């Protein structure tokens, strides 16, 4: 962890049998892996109760509880049964033992012990069948237990091992490895571990040393585990902070083309002829971007804004500032639908305002002749603004003089992809970079994974936009669903258009089946069309053109319409099985409507049962249209793995303890400290970063 490793093999420190059991059960081979990858999930102080984890039938549970009743009797088959009633302070468990008459000599009413076993339920009552247990000895008592108790003897006197603990750590256990077996192995490893030299050179102010924290997180003294866990969380946050600070330093060492504002250029022409005024927020963000572009250091800026907050026109003005200085711009979009939509929107806006800048689309599905001409326009400098998908990154694409890269929906791309596009600038110079997202980023995420970017934020919506009414539509209310379908029909009759979003293409509730069902039923007099990811680029473009032209009444789609699609006449959206989508994704989808001056309605259909977590989550989305509030909610519901957008579940291996939803203060401090650390100790910072787990380094490079 950030400058410290313990690469001693478990087999060189622990008894051979214990080392083999731990490796087989947990997959760890070194002492450092065990110390840094398996922290307690809870602690019991002086025998106080520790709640059993929220577990399901068949799960292994480990908890500390008190025996509230013990009875012995014989079954009909003549077997001796000992039945315990155990309370962990909240839940009462029953535990049954067969032919275990010795139990009444070891356990009594009031005895406190750790129990481990497989959970099942009988008539709603949690049961443990013949669990392992470990009695926590009171003064004058001897340790006692079953199962793996003998493993403790391998490390010394079990009485002393258990009696000297101020806090008893409870570890995540497996069917083959009880919590106290992990505890005893870790305690022994720590007893053989020499004092650790402070990896950062100096102990952070107000925190315990790293050596004290490694020991105190596993075996806390009277002060408890909190200060030690906070220090280890700080180290995790500092790891990410150093990566971002080094990235910022690297950017500052590069040179970029200085792009001054021209008073009579394309940018000024667009501003003068816009049919509306920029909002105060748009003007402020534009000023921030323009100032960055005028410098000879590469801009690295993130523009985040609410759905429909006007990021597109701001990015166009930034691109025209580059074009005014005879530089080209590349706008990178995640899908062909969005790329073509952007190219069309930019071309239309330039034509309406009489600005002669040229916009060229470039996508993978273009006909060969059209693509060849586009490549010629790009390399010759005839193309001012090139809008494309991943096709822009290919080696065959060469720019005449690339000065600005704009990345839309940045969470769909990684640093690696952005840098490959920036490498297409003139020799010795790095193009400026503006990345945009309509998915607001929680502050803790912005400081960690996107900490190398300056942040501009658009919260204000342009004039004329009306709030979108959102309603929950449970499957258990068929009358509501019937009314929703009728509501869509009414909107179409009033000259409007509608989206219906499905979580899948085929099968029950999929795009194809639902479109056919609606076309033959309630929408038989309407023009219904489908769009999904299996259609070719030309087919998707044709559908979107027809929808934009008002030739389609109802568009049944997957999430290919999630971002960037701008049809002001679309006023109603029905999202089927909304529980299959994330919080931010639902907000993004909802943002496809309400883009004109008409009242708009979003209907969140769900199969989730009222009162369930999924139902509650959808209700929270329906209750607010504030994307920044929803981003924080998304972080709580899905944790950082999903919100980062770079993988669908899990999180950085580096983050064993740090919680991006709860540890904001630690993250803020570490982010500031990392900047100062890089200034004072740049070589040490680089060495510390190189020691990050290889998988995490690859993840961060692609984040």
Q: 660-695: per-residue pLDDT in tens?
A: 888 989 999 999 999 999 999 888 888 888 766 554
Short-list 622, 655, 660, CA closest to 638: 660
Please name which of 408, 353, 403, 359 lies closest in space to residue 385, comparing C-alpha atoms. Answer: 359
Asked if 451 and 241 touch (Cβ cutoff 8 Å), the reply is yes
| Stretch 144-166: mean pLDDT | 68
Q: Is the pLDDT of residue 95 over 70?
A: yes
Q: How far is CA 300 from the centre of its chain?
A: 22
Q: Report how far residue 593's alpha carbon sits from residue 601's, in angstroms, rounded to the nearest whole number.
A: 8
Helix, coil or strand: residue 231: helix
Quickly tell me which residue has 């480990």 as its tokens.
62
Measure the CA–CA gap between 430 and 35, rounded to whole angstroms.
Answer: 43
Q: Which residues contact 412 (CB under 8 A, 6 or more apart)?
A: 334, 645
Tell me the C-alpha distance between 91 and 218, whole Å. Answer: 26
CB 592 within 8 A of CB 600: no
Helix (H) / strand (E) containing 432: strand 432-437
266 three-class SS = helix
* 575 contacts 502 by C-beta, under 8 angstroms: no
More confident residue, 107 or 471: 471
Contact 193, 31 (CB under 8 A): yes
Section 32-56 average pLDDT: 78
Residue 646 in this model has a pLDDT that exceeds 50: no
pLDDT at 694: 52
Tokens of 565: 């699609």
Please say whether the beta carbons of 595 and 568 come within 8 A. yes
- How do residues 491-518 score in pLDDT, each as one tens digit? 999 999 999 999 999 999 999 999 999 9
- Predicted pLDDT of residue 649: 31
Least confident window among 47-51, 124-128, 170-174, 263-267: 47-51
Residue 24: exposed, middle, or buried by beta-carbon count in 10 A (0-12, 13-18, 19+)? exposed
> What pLDDT, on the 0 to 100 scale, is given for residue 640?
46
Retrieve residue 232's tokens.
């280890």
- pLDDT, residue 557, reads 95
pLDDT at 689: 81
| pLDDT bucket at 463, cuts 50 / 70 / 90 | low
pLDDT over threshold 80, residue 616: yes
Q: Are 693 and 240 in contact (CB under 8 A)?
A: no
Does position 228 have pLDDT exceeding 90, yes or no? Answer: yes
Give the single-character DSSP code of 578. G
Residues facing 81 on adjacent strands: 73, 98
Alpha-carbon gap, residue 28 to 326, rounded angstroms: 57
Q: What is the distance of C-alpha 50 from the center of its chain?
A: 30
CATH number of 10-193: 2.40.50.140
Contacts of 539 (CB under 8 A, 6+ apart): none
- Per residue in 360-372, pLDDT (tens digit) is 999 888 899 999 9
pLDDT band at residue 648 under the 50/70/90 scheme: very low
pLDDT for position 590? 92
**Interacting residues of 605 by C-beta distance below 8 A, sequence separation 6+:** 473, 474, 475, 481, 484, 574, 575, 576, 577, 578
CA 501 – CA 222 distance, rounded (Å): 56
Say whether pLDDT at 131 is over 80: yes
Per-domain residue ranges of the chain = 10-193, 266-458, 468-624
How far is residue 633's CA from residue 621's CA, in Å, rounded to a whole number? 9
181-190, 214-223, 517-526, 590-599: least confident range: 590-599
Give the pair of three-digit tokens for residue 231. Answer: 């220090």
User: Is residue 323's pLDDT more than 50?
Assistant: yes
- Is 18's pLDDT higher than 50? yes
pLDDT at 538: 85
pLDDT tens track for 137-152: 766 677 677 765 566 7
DSSP-assigned letters across all residues of 538-559: HHHHHHHHHHHTT--SEEEE-G
pLDDT confidence of residue 217: 96
pLDDT-derived band at 451, boundaries 50, 70, 90? confident
CA distance 107 to 67: 8
pLDDT of residue 378 exceeding 80, the answer is yes
Please count the other Cβ atoms lying within 10 Å of the Cβ belonging to residue 116.
26
Name residue, tokens 């009485």.
Answer: 159
pLDDT of residue 388: 93
Range in 35-44, 54-63, 332-341, 599-608 the model is least confident about: 54-63
Percentage of the chain lying above the pLDDT 70 cut: 89
- Give CA separation, 413 vs 86, 188, 550, 644, 645, in Å: 52, 46, 32, 11, 9
pLDDT for residue 442? 78
User: In 3D, which of 364, 402, 361, 359 has the Cα closest to residue 383?
Assistant: 359
Residues 414-436: pLDDT tens digits?
677 777 888 898 888 999 999 99
Instruction: Tell me the H-state helices in 577-691.
Output: 583-590, 613-623, 627-644, 664-680, 682-690
Between 144 and 473, whose confidence is greater? 473
Range in 44-48, 215-219, 336-340, 656-660 with the lowest mean pLDDT: 44-48
- What does the alpha-carbon distance between residue 189 and residue 193 come to, in Å, rounded to a whole number? 6
243: Cβ contacts below 8 Å, ≥ 6 apart: 451, 452, 689, 692, 700
The per-residue pLDDT for 161 is 67
- If one counts every other C-beta atom within 10 angstroms of the C-beta of residue 490, the result is 11
Q: Hey, what are 390's tokens?
A: 């991943």
Where residue 12 falls among pLDDT bands split at 50, 70, 90? very high
* pLDDT of the residue at 654: 58
By CB neighbour count within 10 A (0-12 exposed, 13-18 middle, 19+ buried), where does 241 fall? Answer: buried
Beta strands in 31-166 (DSSP E): 42-45, 60-74, 80-87, 92-98, 112-122, 125-129, 132-135, 144-145
Question: Residue 306: is it exposed, middle or buried by C-beta count within 10 angstroms (0-12/13-18/19+)?
Answer: buried
Task: Tell me how far apart the alpha carbons of residues 29 and 41 are, in angstroms, rounded to a whole number.
Answer: 21
How many Cβ atoms sit within 10 Å of the Cβ of residue 575? 26
Architecture of domain 468-624: 3-Layer(aba) Sandwich (3.40)
- What's the mean pLDDT when you consider all of the chain? 86
Are the folds of 10-193 and 468-624 the same? no
pLDDT at residue 643, rounded to an integer: 35
Q: Is residue 466 within 8 Å of 597, Cβ to Cβ?
A: yes
Q: Which residues contact 71 (CB under 8 A, 6 or more apart)?
A: 82, 83
Length of the chain equals: 703
Q: What is the mean pLDDT of residues 529-538?
A: 90
Q: Place 270 in a pLDDT band, splitting at 50, 70 and 90.
A: very high
CA–CA separation, 662 and 356 (whole Å)? 50
Q: What is the mean pLDDT of residues 454-470?
A: 81
Give the predicted TM-score (pTM) of the model. 0.74
Q: What is the DSSP string of 347-411?
A: HHHHHHTT----EEEE-TTS-HHHHHHHHHHHHHT--SEEEESGGGGSTT---SSEEEEEEESGG
Domain 266-458 classification at class level: alpha beta
pLDDT above 50 (res 651):
no
Task: Mention every residue, 6+ apart, whose C-beta is less than 8 A from residue 46.
Answer: 166
Among candidate residues 534, 529, 533, the one with its CA nearest the CA of residue 556: 529
73: closest CA among 110, 103, 112? 103
pLDDT computed for residue 607 by the predictor:
95
Q: What are the CA-CA distances from residue 563 to residues 70, 338, 411, 567 (Å)?
A: 62, 7, 12, 12
Give yes or no for a contact between 118 and 60, defined as CB atoms under 8 angstroms apart: yes
């Amino acid at each position: 962890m950030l400058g410290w490793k313990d690469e001693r093999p478990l087999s060189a420190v622990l008894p051979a049998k214990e080392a083999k059991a731990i490796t087989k059960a947990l997959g760890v081979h070194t002492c450092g892996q065990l110390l840094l990858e398996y922290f307690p999930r809870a602690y019991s102080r002086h025998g106080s109760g520790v709640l059993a984890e929220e577990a399901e039938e068949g799960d292994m549970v480990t908890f500390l509880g008190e025996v509230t009743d013990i009875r012995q009797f014989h079954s009909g088959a003549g077997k001796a049964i000992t039945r315990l009633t155990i309370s962990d302070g909240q839940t009462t468990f029953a535990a049954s033992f067969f032919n275990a008459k010795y139990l009444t000599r070891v356990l009594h009413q009031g005895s406190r012990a750790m129990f481990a076993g497989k959970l099942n339920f009988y008539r709603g009552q949690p049961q443990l069948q013949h669990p392992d247990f470990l009695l926590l000895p009171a003064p004058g008592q001897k340790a006692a237990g079953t199962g793996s108790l003998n493993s403790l003897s391998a490390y010394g006197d079990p009485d002393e091992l258990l009696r000297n603990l101020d806090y008893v750590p409870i570890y995540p256990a497996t069917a083959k490895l009880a919590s106290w077996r992990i505890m005893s192995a870790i305690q022994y490893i720590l007893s053989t571990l020499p004092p650790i030299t402070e990896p950062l050179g100096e102990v952070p102010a107000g925190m315990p040393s790293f050596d004290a924290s490694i020991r105190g997180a596993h075996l806390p003294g009277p002060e408890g585990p909190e200060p030690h866990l906070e220090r280890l969380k700080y180290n995790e946050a500092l790891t990410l902070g150093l990566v971002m600070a080094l990235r910022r330093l690297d950017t500052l060492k590069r040179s970029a083309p200085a792009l001054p504002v021209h008073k009579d250029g394309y940018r000024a022409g667009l501003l003068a002829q816009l049919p509306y005024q920029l909002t105060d927020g748009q003007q402020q963000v534009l000023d921030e971007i323009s100032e960055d572009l005028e410098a000879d250091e590469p801009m690295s800026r993130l523009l985040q804004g609410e759905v429909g907050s006007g990021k597109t026109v701001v990015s166009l003005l930034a691109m025209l500032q580059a074009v005014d200085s005879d530089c080209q711009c590349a706008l990178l979009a995640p899908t062909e639908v969005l790329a073509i939509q952007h190219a069309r929107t930019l071309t239309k806006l330039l034509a309406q305002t009489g600005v002669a800048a040229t916009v060229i689309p470039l996508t993978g599905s273009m006909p060969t002749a059209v693509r060849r001409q586009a490549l010629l326009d790009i390399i010759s400098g005839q193309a001012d603004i090139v809008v494309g998908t991943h096709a822009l990154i290919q080696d065959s694409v060469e720019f005449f003089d690339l000065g600005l890269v704009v990345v839309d929906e940045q969470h769909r791309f990684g640093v690696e992809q952005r840098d490959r596009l920036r490498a297409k600038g003139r020799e010795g110079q790095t193009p400026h970079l503006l990345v945009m997202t309509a998915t607001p980023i929680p502050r803790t995420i912005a400081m960690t994974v996107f900490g190398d970017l300056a942040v501009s934020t658009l919260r204000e919506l342009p004039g004329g936009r009306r709030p979108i009414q959102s309603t929950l539509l449970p499957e258990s209310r068929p009358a509501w669903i019937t009314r929703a379908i009728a509501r869509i029909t009414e909107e179409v009759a009033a000259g409007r258009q509608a989206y219906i979003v499905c979580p899948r293409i085929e099968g029950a509730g999929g795009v194809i089946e639902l479109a056919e069902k609606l076309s033959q039923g309630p929408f038989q007099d309407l023009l219904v069309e489908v769009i999904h990811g299996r259609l070719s680029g030309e087919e998707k473009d044709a559908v979107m053109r027809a929808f934009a032209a008002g030739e389609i009444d109802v568009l049944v789609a997957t999430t290919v319409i999630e971002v960037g699609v701008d049809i002001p006449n679309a006023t109603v959206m029905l999202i089927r099985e909304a529980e299959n989508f994330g919080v931010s994704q639902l907000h993004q989808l909802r943002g496809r409507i309400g883009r004109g001056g008409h009242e708009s309605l979003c209907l969140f259909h769900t199969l989730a049962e009222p009162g369930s977590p999924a139902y509650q989550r959808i209700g929270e989305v329906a209750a607010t249209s504030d994307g920044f509030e929803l981003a924080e909610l998304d972080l709580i519901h899905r944790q950082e793995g999903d919100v980062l957008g770079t993988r669908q579940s899990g999180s950085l291996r580096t983050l064993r303890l740090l919680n991006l939803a709860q540890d904001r203060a630690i993250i803020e401090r570490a982010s500031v400290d990392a900047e100062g650390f890089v200034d004072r100790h740049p070589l040490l910072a680089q060495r510390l970063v190189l020691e990050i787990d290889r998988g995490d380094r690859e993840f961060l490079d692609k984040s």
